């Protein structure tokens, strides 16, 4: 449908066209009382209809000539305004821009005439009214033409209002007030859009006049005129109140347009709600961000006023917590594009960069280099040429505009090096694309190197760009050492970012080696010079206490030297580099932090070529650690050191304890160290008791970590020290407790749960089962006492332990679920860690190989099973408390568990007979979870958690991989649980009644019915996949009203009470006799394993069971039998012990 099909006739007033359009009298107030004038208007409009728009717009035509508008009668002006509007509708925005002055003069000339009725304005208003009332379906082009026309009329009214001709504007106000509460939502939506256009044009005119007043005040001696209000204050207040009420309209389209119009008011205007609450315009828009309709949420997110740091924090908080990807993306686009760099605080800048980089959504991550980097670099480029920390640039400099390092003026790497590193890398990619004229994530290395070579050496110093010819780590002037270290670090930081971008971009290219060598030759010196500079730096600046800035500098230097050694292809570089690192580690006068010592030790082991060199370096580390601990001790003797004596006399310095223990710990952590050397074993025996007995908590923490790693490689000799971890875990210190749990988790992953339990509790308990129970109790009770980041570390250790081993440990899963999804821990990244655990350890892909699949299936099935059992345990615990006391996000917990245990196998060979034979033997955890939740729901029909659990199950529990017969059984049980059969007499005949079980509220019934509907949809999907024609509809649950009198007449009060008592006793018995382990046996056979690799659906058609009318005694017997069967099924499924390793 073209725009001329209906828009060309909107401005005609023919009776015949009115009848055809079914608009007899759209606006009664517009119909004039004088019949003669009306007939003349109709005759004139006929002439407008017959005139067709021109193919080429001729502004020299008489109708569009400004000089021919004066001194013409009113009816001619009416015809000309009709031509103008027809052209605007036909041609769109270009015609509106070209003919605006013509229309403005026509309207102005008509208001200057002494006429009782202004036919020009009536033509505009009546045509606009018809367009608003036209409820026919619009094409996209037609809809755009209507918006152009509305904007054209709004501009026209504001322009005439500015020259004291308010007739058109007042008629628009009357039209809006008359149609605002119209019954048609399309009319209300267009009225809101018209308000938005009027307010937008009024605001633009006010801004222009304000700028004009400023210019008059600054550049002339005249006094600026008072600003005129285009829209009266009373009208503004009335409109804003109506728009605020429109945010509650039932139509999403109306709410969208109301948000658009409301956002044009100032953000701090206060509006009183119906309940007396005072809200600002921005508060109302933020409420619309949480609307039920996505289009309204997106529209509100695009128009939120971000005016200060408080609003920025609110936006970032929403992005962090919300799961609505579209709305998050819109808010992030606003933050990246519309908010100025200087509007952010320092903390908000780092927070925003980390938020974008850590997001799981690829579109959100793209914002960082598509919008954020572009916006901030433009602002920085307009302000500075080079960062102020470097030497100032000369007037005739040759520094490229917007060089990446200028962002260091606003982002300090010492505050958050990771965020600045991410941003600077994207800034380098942007700079390279700008130089080469190509927009791609893979930069043109040649163009980047050419651009760097063009910068003179003096200018390179100003922007922090290091070159081989100007490379230095220590300057000659060491008086201001702190400032010099800061400058050196920033230069090293910029150099590292440039090298990393180049190395990442050349991966997979044929000339990668050549390009890497070119980059190393340009930015860095040879390895011999580099390590000499490193030694000079350490002996100059690292003789004092450790400093974060110096350690950060050392880390980046080691990173660059590693790249030079790895890609330099010089054999002697490796030996030279290792000798310098060993010299630095052996020097007792240098002060290094524990992470720096660990990094240097790991680097030395990586530089070893074979096992013999690795063993030699390990022995050297042990000897050096012993000598360092003897430093400044009375028993210090290089030829015959007496470390044991020094430890007994407590003459070893704490920093040397830390230095030696860190070296030994880093050696044990390395992946290539699988067995200890003789020197390592002897040092373990002497140093571990001394570390644990030290009063310094930091030294005790190192000792606990050393026990874990040392026991992993030397369990026989270090087994006695594991017992000491129990004593430290029972202390009140959270750091020591978390470290001790981390140690035990590592030992369990390496040597198994039973062996670790016996090593700790063998003396206290005789049997192996008692030892395992004690160790499990230690893990479970310790988790509850932790808070903050130590809790995060412990949860990560627990999940790592559960993913590494095959432990039948539902109790620990239960404790973890209750801790992770507590509302008080919502600020901690526990849910993110749990999602990663489910993705890597539970929802792993099945492999095709049968041998690999055997191991994978045993591990994955056990993990899924125990997670499901732990979830059921947590539901049992939650059911005993109120919703307020639970303080738990049970819906999110259910969603994550359902997604983790759901499994849809790949469809395999259709001729696989093993699948047909063993399909019934397979246990599907999805069905088991659903059955257990149904049992809890029936046992506690009024519980608060039912609606949350079943709402989450209906959207997250995947039932597509469940066979048809099991789905049918689940569906039948859902129907039986949802309704209760009864018998009542009504008007002399028996009637079957269905009484809904769940009386806790309508939301609970809806949630349960939603899961029932989801099950029916999956059954229909099975039938569709097998091309089965469903002749019988699925069972539907009807809720019929119950006649209370007939129920009373059918049975006595005593019998009813008896049935209620038996019913309660049956459910209570089921709950009391159920094993708290709530586990079931997993039967794994070769046939079931082969079945996974070749999965095939074998669904059967559903059937509707006919219910017979039975007596009350029969119903009670069937119900009691159903309860006993369920109880027996639970008992049969829970006969396995809660052992901790399969």
* Longest Cα–Cα distance in the chain: 126
Q: How far apart are CA 471 and CA 468, in angstroms?
A: 5
Burial (CB count within 10 angstroms: exposed 0-12, middle 13-18, buried 19+), residue 617 = middle
Burial (CB count within 10 angstroms: exposed 0-12, middle 13-18, buried 19+), residue 170 = middle
Reported as a single tens digit per residue, the pLDDT across 892-911 is 899 988 888 886 554 444 44
Q: How far apart are CA 241 and CA 655, in angstroms?
A: 69
Q: How far apart are CA 722 and CA 546, in angstroms?
A: 32
Structure confidence at residue 904 (pLDDT): 58
Q: How far apart are CA 738 and CA 704, in angstroms?
A: 10
Structure confidence at residue 225 (pLDDT): 56
β-strand pairing of 989-996 with 979-986: antiparallel
Q: How far apart are CA 22 and CA 45, in angstroms?
A: 18
Residues 736, 739, 744: CA angle, nearest 5 degrees: 125
- Residue 996, beta-bridge partner list: 979
Structure confidence at residue 841 (pLDDT): 72
3-state secondary structure of 1006: helix
- Residue 272, beta-bridge partner list: 278
CA neighbor of 781 nearest in space, from 831, 715, 845, 729: 729
3-state secondary structure of 983: strand
| Token pair belonging to 579 | 């000798």
Structure confidence at residue 17 (pLDDT): 36
Following DSSP, what letter does each residue of 249-305 receive, concatenated?
-S-HHHHHHHHHHHTTS-TT-EEE-TTS-EEEHHHHHHHHHT-SSHHHHHHHHHT--
Reported as a single tens digit per residue, the pLDDT across 578-614 is 999 999 999 888 888 889 999 999 999 999 888 888 8
Q: CB of 703 within 8 A of CB of 688?
A: yes
Structure confidence at residue 163 (pLDDT): 81
Structure confidence at residue 569 (pLDDT): 74
What are the distances in angstroms from CA 469 to CA 453, 461, 464, 570?
12, 12, 14, 20
Please list the rounded mean pLDDT of every run of 10 residues in the chain (1142 residues).
36 36 35 39 38 49 59 80 82 81 82 81 88 77 80 89 86 91 91 93 85 58 62 90 92 93 90 81 92 92 92 91 87 91 92 86 79 91 89 84 92 92 92 80 78 86 87 72 86 93 87 88 90 90 80 93 86 89 90 90 90 88 84 54 68 81 87 81 82 82 83 78 80 84 85 84 77 86 87 89 76 89 87 86 46 41 80 88 79 89 57 47 78 85 83 86 84 78 35 46 76 86 65 43 36 38 37 36 34 34 37 42 46 38 38
- Residue 822, beta-bridge partner list: 888
What are the distances in angstroms from CA 676 to CA 641, 680, 742?
22, 6, 21
Q: Phi and psi at residue 226, in whole multiples of 5°?
A: -70, 140
Structure confidence at residue 277 (pLDDT): 80
CA neighbor of 688 nearest in space, from 654, 715, 724: 724
Q: How far apart are CA 410 and CA 345, in angstroms?
A: 10
Q: CB of 736 within 8 A of CB of 696?
A: no
Q: How far apart are CA 497 and CA 677, in angstroms?
A: 40
Q: Phi and psi at residue 672, in whole multiples of 5°?
A: -85, -10
Q: What predicted TM-score, i.e. pTM, was given to this entire model? A: 0.73
């Amino acid at each position: 449908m073209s725009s001329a099909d209906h828009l060309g006739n909107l401005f005609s007033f023919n009776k015949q066209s009115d009848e055809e359009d079914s608009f007899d009298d759209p606006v009664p107030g517009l119909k004039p009382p004088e019949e003669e004038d009306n007939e003349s208007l109709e005759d004139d409009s006929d002439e407008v209809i017959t005139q067709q728009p021109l193919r080429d717009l001729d502004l020299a035509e008489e109708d569009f000539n400004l000089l021919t508008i004066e001194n013409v009668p009113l009816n001619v002006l009416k015809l000309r305004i009709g031509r103008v509007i027809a052209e605007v509708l036909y041609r769109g925005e270009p015609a509106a821009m070209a003919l605006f002055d013509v229309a403005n003069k026509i309207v102005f000339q008509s208001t200057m005439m002494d006429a009782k009725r202004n036919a020009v304005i009536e033509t505009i208003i009546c045509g606009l009214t018809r367009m608003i009332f036209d409820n026919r379906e619009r094409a996209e082009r037609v809809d755009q033409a209507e918006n152009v026309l509305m904007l054209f009329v709004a501009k026209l009214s504001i322009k005439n209002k500015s020259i004291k001709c308010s007739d058109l504007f007042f008629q628009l106000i009357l039209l809006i007030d008359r149609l605002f509460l119209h019954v048609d939502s399309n009319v209300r939506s267009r009225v809101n859009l018209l308000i938005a256009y009027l307010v937008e044009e009024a605001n633009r005119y006010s801004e222009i006049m304000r700028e004009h007043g400023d210019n008059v005040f600054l550049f002339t001696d005249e006094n600026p005129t008072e600003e005129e209000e285009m829209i009266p204050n009373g009208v503004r207040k009335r409109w804003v109140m109506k728009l605020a009420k429109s945010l509650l309209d039932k139509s999403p389209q109306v709410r969208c347009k109301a948000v658009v119009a409301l956002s044009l008011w100032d953000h701090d205007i206060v509006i009183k709600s119906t309940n007396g609450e005072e809200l600002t315009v921005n508060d109302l828009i933020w409420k619309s961000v949480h609307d039920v309709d996505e289009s309204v949420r997106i529209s509100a997110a695009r128009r939120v006023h971000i005016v200060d740091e408080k609003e920025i924090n609110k936006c970032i908080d929403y992005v962090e917590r919300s799961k609505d990807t579209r709305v998050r993306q819109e808010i992030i686009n606003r933050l990246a594009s519309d908010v100025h760099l200087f509007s952010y605080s320092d903390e908000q800048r780092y927070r925003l960069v980390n938020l974008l980089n850590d997001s799981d959504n690829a579109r959100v991550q793209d914002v960082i280099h598509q919008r954020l980097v572009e916006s901030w670099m433009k602002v920085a480029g307009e302000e500075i040429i080079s960062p102020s920390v470097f030497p100032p640039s000369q007037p005739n400099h040759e520094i490229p505009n917007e060089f990446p390092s200028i962002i260091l003026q606003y982002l300090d790497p010492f505050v958050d090096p990771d965020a600045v590193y991410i941003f600077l890398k994207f800034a380098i990619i942007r700079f390279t694309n700008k130089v080469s004229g190509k927009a791609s994530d893979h930069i043109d290395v040649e163009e980047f190197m050419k651009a760097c070579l063009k910068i003179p050496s003096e200018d390179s110093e100003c922007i922090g760009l290091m070159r081989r010819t100007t490379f230095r780590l220590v300057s000659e002037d060491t008086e201001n050492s702190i400032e010099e270290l800061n400058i050196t670090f920033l230069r090293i930081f910029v150099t590292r970012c440039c090298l990393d971008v180049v190395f990442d971009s050349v991966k997979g290219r044929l000339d990668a080696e050549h390009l890497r060598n070119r980059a190393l030759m340009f930015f860095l010196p040879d390895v011999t010079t580099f390590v000499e500079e490193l030694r000079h730096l350490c002996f100059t600046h690292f003789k004092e206490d450790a400093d974060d800035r110096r350690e950060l500098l050392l880390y980046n230097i080691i990173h660059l030297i590693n790249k030079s050694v790895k890609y330099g292809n010089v054999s002697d570089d490796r030996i030279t580099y290792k000798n310098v690192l060993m010299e630095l580690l052996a020097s007792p006068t240098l002060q290094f932090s524990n992470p720096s010592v660990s990094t240097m030790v790991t680097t030395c082991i990586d530089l070893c070529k074979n096992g013999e060199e690795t063993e030699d370096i390990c022995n050297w580390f042990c000897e050096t650690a012993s000598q360092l601990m003897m430093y400044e001790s009375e028993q210090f003797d290089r030829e015959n050191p007496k470390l044991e004596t020094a430890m007994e006399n407590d003459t070893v310095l704490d920093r040397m304890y830390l230095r030696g223990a860190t070296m030994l710990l880093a050696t044990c952590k390395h992946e290539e160290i699988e067995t200890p050397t003789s020197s390592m074993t002897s040092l373990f025996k002497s140093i571990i008791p001394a570390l644990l007995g030290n009063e310094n908590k930091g030294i005790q923490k190192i000792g606990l970590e050393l026990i874990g790693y040392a026991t992993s490689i030397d369990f026989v000799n270090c087994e006695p020290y594991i017992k000491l971890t129990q004593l430290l875990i029972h202390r009140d210190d959270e750091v020591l407790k978390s470290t001790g749990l981390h140690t035990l988790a590592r030992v369990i992953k390496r040597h198994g749960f039973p062996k670790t339990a016996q090593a700790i509790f063998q003396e206290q308990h005789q049997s192996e089962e008692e030892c395992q129970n004690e160790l499990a109790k230690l893990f479970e009770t310790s988790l509850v006492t932790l808070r903050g980041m130590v809790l995060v570390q412990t949860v990560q250790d627990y999940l790592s332990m559960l993913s590494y081993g095959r432990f039948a440990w539902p109790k620990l899963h239960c404790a973890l679920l209750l801790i992770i999804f507590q509302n008080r821990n919502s600020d901690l990244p526990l849910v993110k860690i749990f999602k990663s655990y489910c993705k890597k350890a539970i929802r792993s892909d099945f492999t095709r190989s049968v041998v690999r699949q055997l191991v994978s299936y045993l591990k994955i099935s056990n993990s899924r099973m125990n997670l499901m059992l732990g979830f059921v345990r947590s539901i049992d615990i939650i059911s005993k408390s109120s919703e307020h006391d639970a303080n738990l996000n049970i819906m999110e917990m259910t969603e994550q568990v359902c997604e983790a245990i759901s499994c849809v196998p790949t469809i395999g060979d259709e001729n696989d007979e093993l699948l047909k034979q063993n399909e019934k033997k397979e246990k599907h955890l999805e069905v088991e979870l659903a059955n257990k939740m149904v049992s809890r729901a029936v046992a506690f029909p009024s519980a608060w958690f039912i609606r949350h659990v079943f709402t989450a199950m209906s959207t997250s529990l995947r039932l597509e991989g469940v066979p048809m017969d099991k789905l049918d059984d689940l569906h039948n049980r859902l129907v039986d649980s949802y309704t209760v059969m009864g018998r009542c007499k009504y008007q002399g005949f028996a009637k079957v009644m269905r009484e809904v079980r769940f009386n806790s509220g309508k939301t609970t019934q809806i949630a349960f019915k939603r899961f029932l509907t989801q099950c029916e949809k999956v059954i229909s999907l099975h039938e569709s996949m097998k091309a089965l024609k469903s002749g019988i509809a699925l069972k539907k649950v009807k809720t019929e009203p119950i006649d209370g009198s007939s129920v009373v007449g059918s049975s006595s009060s005593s019998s009813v009470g008896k049935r209620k008592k038996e019913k309660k006793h049956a459910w209570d018995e089921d709950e009391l006799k159920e094993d708290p382990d709530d586990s079931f046996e997993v039967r794994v056979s070769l046939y079931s394993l082969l079945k996974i690799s070749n999965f095939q659906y074998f669904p059967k058609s559903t059937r509707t069971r006919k219910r017979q009318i039975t007596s009350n005694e029969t119903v009670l017997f069937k119900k009691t039998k159903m309860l006993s069967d369920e109880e027996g099924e639970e008992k049969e499924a829970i006969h396995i012990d809660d052992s901790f390793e399969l």
